[in-house]
Structure 1
Amino acid sequence: MNVSLFPDVVVNGETIPSAAIAAEAQNHTAPKDKPGIAWRKAAQALAIRTLLLQEARKRDLDADPEELAPGRFETEDEALIRALLDEALTTAPITEEAVRAEWARDPNRYRSAPLWDVSHILCACDPRDEQERLAAEARAVALLARLDGDAKGFAAAARTSDCGSKASGGHLGQLGPNDTVPEFEAALRTLAEGGMTAAPVLSRRGWHLIRLNATAPGQVLPYDTVRPKITLALEKAAWARASRDFIETLAERAQISGTNLAPI
């Protein structure tokens, strides 16, 4: 990306280095043919960050970095922004009426996790090894062609699987969300009960042929069970709105050139 094509970003007389914007742009998505969108998103994010840091220093706040994970701490700037938002933002307590109204909009949104009864055939390989991957794929495709949608023959074909489940006809038992690798679960979620993947599915373990034997959809959870989850979601939404309003207030008072804070 040619950074010279973009104007300097200046917030209340403070210039944000183009190198900083270019580095930040790596964290923002954009169409491959429109890299300027990532640049504008990065410039906007850093302009907001600069506004917040300027306000925190104006208020003479102290940074006290917190430990985010074992051995990983906030930066001074992150701690300063947190201190500012803690001081500046106020939100009204979430009422019982608001929580119940949110739940009543559609109780079906709050369900227990589904269960899937699954069988599979694994043609193992290291996906990073092209020759090994292609050989395993060819084997999986041949198995799939031989099955031709025949569910009854699946257990017999699974005897050639590279998974220990071959001893039980490829049966993996009942699985829930996050019980398998992401690629496997993503394919599983597309299947109808009794269905089988139309093509082999590649995961870090190799190529899978997957059959969904049966499914048990999650049950609608009672209000008292989901109340804490709904309350937390409403609190986060209220905080996000207060944060946006606060940033808009700072931006209205600020002199900003080279970018704007309108949604991209």
Structure 2
Amino acid sequence: MKPLLPPVVVNGVTIDPGRIAAEAQNHPAPKGKPGHAWRAAARALAVREILLQEARARGIAAEPAELAPGQWETEEEAAIRALLDRAIRPEPADEAALAAHYAAHPEQFRAPSLYEAAHILFAAAPDDAPARAEARARAEAVLAELSAAPRRFAELAAHHSACSSKTAGGVLGQLSSGDTVPEFDAVLAGMEEGTLALAETRYGLHVIRLDARARGEVLPFAAVLPQLRQAHDKAAWLRASRAYVDRLVAGARISGVSFRRDGGI
């Protein structure tokens, strides 16, 4: 009987189908398309085999490094790391280019904004659609009440909120960007002082009141230069490593899986 999936062979070495099946668990697949995960796993193991073959051809070996307390690389992982360290030469950072990026995108380099806010939480689990609908209806009703009578915020927070801040009239104190979940942060960032808004987060629905905001200043170039260098170095290493792997793949004899962009076999 013909196998459902073809054997994957790299320069004459057949990759164990069991290893591909195990690796596939690490590659999410669209619903109804299990072959997507299998192809991604097969490509990942084919690249690993190519790198190991290249390391052996160069006579490269390395001592496994300790990744975390008690967690060590395998000998194969160490060999691949040593190969990439030797073979990859990322493009160095150009400070003038980094300065130009900084000047063109100043909003990316602001210090965190500070907020003074209060909220009323109507809790609902993200996967409970009926509870979310009920929470939204209750939140919208309270928002309407507050639009007519803003001074009732503390009273309504004490009566309705599922957050412990209800005992302080819903007041959250001083917040900075990133102190709350992104969905809450995004609503805060778009509010004007003294206004009310509705936010939906993983915790439920929130009626938010923004009392004050201090917008963060754009940080000086010297302060963000280390961050820019780090981001450049990471991106440059990824580009160089992909180009190196692409060259090795182009020169290898691979059957059973395709490296075409459409992912076909």
Structure 2-normalised TM-score?
0.80
Letter in 2 for 1:62: A
Q: Does 2:26 align with 1:16?
A: no
1:8/1:16 contact within 8 Å kept: yes
Instruction: Write the deviation string for residues 224-247 of structure 1: whole angstroms up to 9, x where unpaired.
Output: 111111111211222122212211
Could you say which residue in structure 1 is the equivalent of 2:163?
A: 163
Letter in 2 for 1:224: A
1:147/1:154 contact within 8 Å kept: no
Could you say which residue in structure 2 is the equivalent of 1:90?
A: 89
Structure 1-normalised TM-score?
0.80
Write out aligned runs for 1:225-264 (5 A).
225-264=223-262
Shift of 1:28: 2.3
2:52/2:80 contact within 8 Å kept: yes
The farther-off stretch of 41-50 and 94-103 is 94-103
Q: Which runs of 5+ in 2 are unaligned?
A: none
2:136/2:205 contact within 8 Å kept: yes
Q: Which runs of 5+ in 1 are unaligned?
A: none
Shift of 1:211: 0.4
Q: How many residues align?
A: 252
Shift of 1:255: 0.4
Aligned partner of residue 116 in structure 1, secondary structure:
strand
Shift of 1:140: 7.5
Could you say which residue in structure 1 is the equivalent of 2:57?
A: 58
Distance 1:138 1:239, change over 3 A: closer
Aligned equivalents of 2:57 and 2:230: distance in 1? 32
Q: Does 2:147 align with 1:148?
A: no
Could you say which residue in structure 2 is the equivalent of 1:75?
A: 74
Shift of 1:139: 7.1
Instruction: Write the deviation string for residues 11-39 of structure 1: whole angstroms up to 9, x where unpaired.
Output: 11111222222222232233213232222
Letter in 2 for 1:56: A
Letter in 2 for 1:171: V
Shift of 1:172: 0.2
User: Percent of pairs identical after alignment?
Assistant: 45
Aligned equivalents of 2:172 and 2:184: distance in 1? 15
Could you say which residue in structure 1 is the equivalent of 2:218?
A: 220
Distance 1:91 1:216, change over 3 A: same
Letter in 1 for 2:172: L
1:9/1:256 contact within 8 Å kept: yes
